Amino acid sequence: MTLEGGIEYSKIAEIKGPLVIVDGVDKASFDELVEIQTTSGEKRLGKVMEVGFGKAVVQVFEGTTGLSISGTRAKFIGKTMTMPVSAEVLGRVFDGLGRPNDGLPDPIASKFLDINGEPMNPEQRDYPKDFIQTGVSVIDGMLTLVRGQKLPIFSGSGMSHNILAAQIARQATVIGSGEEFAVVFAAIGVQYSEAQYFKRSLEESGALKRSVLFLNLADDPAIERIITPRVALTVAEYLAYDLGMHVLVILTDMTNYAEALREISAAREEVPGRKGYPGYLYTDLSTIYERAGRLRDRKGSVTQMPILSMPADDITHPIPDLTGYITEGQIVLGRDLFRKGIYPPVNVLMSLSRIMKDGVGEGKTRADHMEIANQMYDAYSRAQEVRALSEIVGKAGLTGVDIKYMDVGDAFEQNVLSQGVDENRVLEETLGLEWKTASILPKGELNKVKDKFIDQYYKAS
């Protein structure tokens, strides 16, 4: 038996927001786990944020409500927070701190992994490639998700991002035999009804078997939100690099994560940055997003789809702004499309998957994939211009080709973009719909695709 910390201190100097300042501490270490015991015997977890001058600042995950200076004790555990991992975590539901939330015991661990993850050796990183099929036409066809990529969804308050997240979690898969796929779903600060929806949705579709669910609810202490994405990514890394699986991590809603970060920063009286968020928001977000990737000579991959709701639909807000610097593209949900009742309301003209080109094409998806996607972008962009023009000159003032472009715009929104919540479209189906839409235009207008593809796929009406 060895001594692993375990010293309990009873001198609490101050309780401030989510922080407890413990006096007379000289052996604590940064990020060390602390067990706070209340006067009633209730135990809460926390971690060391700062240490020095005989004091330790402890951030209490479950909040400090009900704690008092007298009678509260802080036991320093002597290790950082770890997550027990094994293949048995698949099909399990955990709370935001990684504790079982499904009535089952703790998983029997193969390993205990530090939730902050091992830093990835940049030299060992492999470039993201290969396709992940989400079954959502607009994503697979035009904003393709690639294994090892980090592709966020920028949404707004009240829009259907959670429905889309659940649909992707249910349907996502990798093409090819012998490839194992798993989904790690972390709900951060979501309502109880949303958490139940995610859980039920995965259970009823049978997708829970290959998923791990972390649920941090809106009424859980905000501080727990700091931990949720980290435990989720720890599990994802284990599944990917130890078990060789391709793992898709969906983090929703990262805005709630950033809010929690702001709360702690304010309590620590740090100098605020833009909109009160801490100056290290970029660095902190990158410690999460940069955990996506694939390693050379390892079979698995970690792909991330963080979802964030932009306050007041403002894409220049610090959270989407800084996220955009780190990630490889973005999928933007549009308020106008949402109001028109289109699901999923993806504004393709504002969206982009930066490394799509490396995940599609011959041998990966289909030879014409990139070209028909470009043609769709081109045609839809032109359709928007024509729509704007027709507002001024009226439809009678448009040329025949202009009217065809307007028809393409409508057909794109109705057939390619719009999709049922439970509709899982394979890639062939998606590309077929894109060609059908592009075929509304005369052949001469299709200048982004090679003639051989036009001969093969153009569908004359």
Partner 1 sequence: MTSSPALEKTVDKILNQSENELLLSLNQSLDDSKNTLSNSLSLLEQEYDRILVDGKKEADKLQKQITGSATLEARNKQLLLVEDSVEKVFAKAIEQLNDLVRNEDYTKLVTQLLDESVKGLGTSDVNIECNSKDKSVVQSILSKFSGATLSPNTVDCLGGIIVKSKDGSMTLDNTIDARIERLKPLIRKDIAIRFGR
Binding site for partner 1 (CB under 8 A): 1, 3-4, 6-11, 23-24, 26-27, 73, 84, 88, 91, 104-110, 112, 203-209, 424
Q: Would you state the structure tokens that stand for residue 92, as one six-digit string? A: 């399990």
Residues 443 and 448: their CA atoms lie apart, in Å, by 11
Are the CB atoms for 32 and 77 separated by under 8 Å? Answer: yes
Rounded-to-integer distance, Cα 428 and Cα 43, Å: 54
Closest separation in Å from C-beta 217 to partner 1: 23
Closest CA to 412 of 385, 439, 389, 444: 439
Is 210 or 294 the residue whose CB approaches partner 1 more closely? 210
User: Smallest distance, Å, CB 427 to partner 1?
Assistant: 14
**Which is nearer to partner 1, 23 or 179 (by Cβ)?**
23
| Smallest separation (angstroms) from partner 1 to the CB of 310 | 34
CB of 9 to partner 1, least distance (A): 6
Per DSSP bridges, beta strands 55-60 and 19-23 are antiparallel
Nearest to 141 by CA among 438, 366, 431: 431
Residue 136 CB, nearest distance to partner 1 (Å)?
15
116 or 424: CB nearest partner 1: 424
Which of 60, 116, 120 lies closest to 231, judged by CA? Answer: 116
C-alpha–C-alpha distance, residues 21 and 78, integer Å: 17
Least Å distance between CB 406 and partner 1? Answer: 27
Q: Which one, 389 or 426, has the nearer CB to partner 1?
A: 426
Please name every residue paired with 154 in a beta bridge, in sequence order, or none if there are none. Answer: 308, 332
Give 1 or 396: the residue with its C-beta nearer to partner 1: 1
CA angle (389, 393, 396) in 5-degree steps: 110
**Residue 204 Cβ, how far from partner 1 at the closest point, in Å?**
7
> Which of residues 109 and 120 has its CB atom nearest to partner 1 in the complex?
109
For the chain, the residue count is 461
Residue 293: which H helix or E strand, with range? strand 293-295
Closer Cβ to partner 1, 205 or 381, answer by number: 205
Judging by DSSP bridges, how do beta strands 293-295 and 125-126 pair with one another?
antiparallel
Strands (E), 167-223: 173-174, 181-190, 211-217
Separation CA 77–CA 68 (nearest Å): 21
Of residues 23 and 290, the one with the C-beta less far from partner 1: 23
Closest approach of partner 1 to the CB of residue 298, in Å: 24
- Backbone φ and ψ for 19, nearest 5 degrees, come out as -105, 145
